[in-house]
Structure 1
Amino acid sequence: MEKGKVVSIEDRIPKLKQIRKRKANRRLIALLSIFFVLIASVMYFLSPLSHIRSITVVGNRYISQEEVVRLSRLTNDTSIWKINKKQSIENIKSNPEIKTAEIRAKIPNSVVIKINERNRIAYMAKEGRFLPILENGEILGPIKKGDIPVYAPVLVGFGEGNKLNQLLGELEQLPQEILNSISEIHEASTKTDIYHITMYMNDGFEVSATSRTLSEKLVHYPSIISQLDPDIKGVIDLEVGSYFKAFDKPAPNNQKEGQTRAGDS
């Protein structure tokens, strides 16, 4: 039987000491790292480094970023760790145009506010000012002087009441691309139709219609104008069927443009 190699205890002690020393060093490094991370974290929390440096607003069309930030009441003196999201969201939603709001804090010191606005389906022209009308029918105060109504038509000659409510109900059902194509809608009631309106389109055409069937008829507008000469502007009558009549122009032999069928809706 072969005898095993015998290692004296004196030879093993230095190796054991080295192993224990390496383990102790690793523990010390780990403890020091945790200590410095904790110190750095405390300094970050307590110092201006944790204060908000930038606020980004996304999802806004009508309301300026500055206004949303003002409503949130978040400032450069607010610590990113002390944001009261619930209260800030309530503050933002105090504006009737804002349907929903969301706040996300991003380390080290930035904030993103995402909002969802209620659509403006029209603007009411009143005493030289423009009052936005929201999708829920609420009429807001006038926009700032010099601001231009966007994304919705201007209503001229309307007051609060059945005519306005009827028209708003129809506009709300229109696709956004159709709504964007309308520049102005004028109240033009007649003895036979108190809901008669005249619309001026952004492409230069004029539309005669009744608000009682507006959403049903106007949805065919792109198809109707695709059949017309874009260089010859005129009135598209959508009250009964769909007819087109060019604007009167001086013509040879005192002739005028006649009435032509534009297509049924």
Structure 2
Amino acid sequence: MVEEKVVSIEDRIPKLREARRKKSNRRLIFYICLFFSLISIVVYLQSPLSYVNQIKVVGLDYLNVDDVISYSELTTSTNLWSFKITKIEEKIEKMSHIKTATVKREFPNHVLIEVEEFQKIGYINNGDSIQPILENGTILNSFPLSDYHGDAPLLYQFSDDEYLQLLIEQMAQLPEAIADHISEIYWEPTESNPYLVRLNMNDGFNVVVSIRQFSNQMPSYPSIVSQLEGTTGTIEMGSGGAIFYDENNATNQNNETEEDEQQSDVVNEEEVINDESEG
């Protein structure tokens, strides 16, 4: 049999005491650190460092930074930890220009507000000035036409708000890739169809379509144009399909008609001359 080593109690006592001493020291250090951490937190919360020192707003295109901060109701007298982020976001999103808002705390005392504005879908042309239109139907203050950068189509002749609002709703549903093709939109109602609009496209084509069918019909524009290479004209869209009127052919036909009329006039003149000579 293997003899078991026997350790006397006298030998074990010093080791047990050392282990207990180390454990007590670790516990003491933990409580001291916790105490100073709590003291630091209290001092921080009572110091100016815990109050908002800077508010940064990003994502703005046509809104004023001060307006957004005013809606947030945050000031330099606001404690960084005294407000709920969701409440501030809700306040900012009440602005008619703002689609979404995200608020973040940045240590030690900064606040970051990230906003997404509603997109511009067009401009109302008032002659010397234009008014941006947002996708939610909000119409902004006017600014000089000379500051227009072609980032959205110009709208002309919309004298009735009912048809304008309906067009805005339709344009908001239009894919951005299609909207980028549109340069100008004219409201040209007729007695039989007050919803008609004419679109001038960036690639030289014109489109006649009903406002009520706008978002359903316009997505087919690229595929229609791809079949009409080398020509320009007017595309009339309707529930039954699309009809294309070739301007080149119309011009040629008009020229041929004018030439025929001129030749006919020459022939008639010759006949008159012959008649007079015979007489």
Once the two structures are overlaid, the 10-residue window that deviates more, 138-147 or 86-95, is 138-147
1:40-51 equivalence runs, <5 A: 40-51=40-51
Check the 8 A contact 1:198/1:208 in 2, yes or no: yes
Q: Paired residue for 1:236?
A: 234
Determine the C-alpha separation between the residues in 2 that align with 1:68 and 1:247.
53
1:29-48 equivalence runs, <5 A: 29-48=29-48
What letter is aligned with 1:235?
G
Q: Cα distance, 1:127 vs. partner?
A: 4.9
Q: Paired residue for 1:129?
A: 129
Check the 8 A contact 2:174/2:215 in 1, yes or no: yes
Identity of counterpart residues, as a percentage? 36
Query: Could you give the per-residue CA deviations for residues 47-100 of structure 1, whole angstroms, max 9, x where no partner exists?
Result: 343344665556656546665344324345543212343553343134212244
What letter is aligned with 1:133?
I
Q: Is 1:88–2:85 an aligned residue pair?
A: no
Check the 8 A contact 2:205/2:235 in 1, yes or no: no
Q: Paired residue for 1:260?
A: none
What letter is aligned with 1:105?
R
Distance of aligned partners of 1:195 and 1:15 in 2 relative to their CA distance in 1, 3 Å threshold: closer
Determine the C-alpha separation between the residues in 2 that align with 1:48 and 1:150.
48
- Partner SS for 1:159: coil
Give the superposed CA RMSD: 3.9
Larger Rg, first or second structure (1 or 2): 2
Q: Paired residue for 1:259?
A: none
- Partner SS for 2:81: helix
Once the two structures are overlaid, the 10-residue window that deviates more, 108-117 or 153-162, is 108-117
1:110-129 equivalence runs, <5 A: 110-129=110-129
Q: Number of aligned residue pairs: give it.
A: 250
Q: Paired residue for 2:103?
A: 103
What letter is aligned with 1:226?
S
- Ranges in structure 2 where 5+ consecutive residues have no aligned partner: 258-279
Determine the C-alpha separation between the residues in 1 that align with 2:210 and 2:9.
110
Check the 8 A contact 1:217/1:238 in 2, yes or no: no
What letter is aligned with 2:22?
R
Distance of aligned partners of 1:205 and 1:216 in 2 relative to their CA distance in 1, 3 Å threshold: same
Determine the C-alpha separation between the residues in 2 that align with 1:135 and 1:124.
13
Check the 8 A contact 1:184/1:201 in 2, yes or no: yes
Once the two structures are overlaid, the 10-residue window that deviates more, 32-41 or 193-202, is 193-202
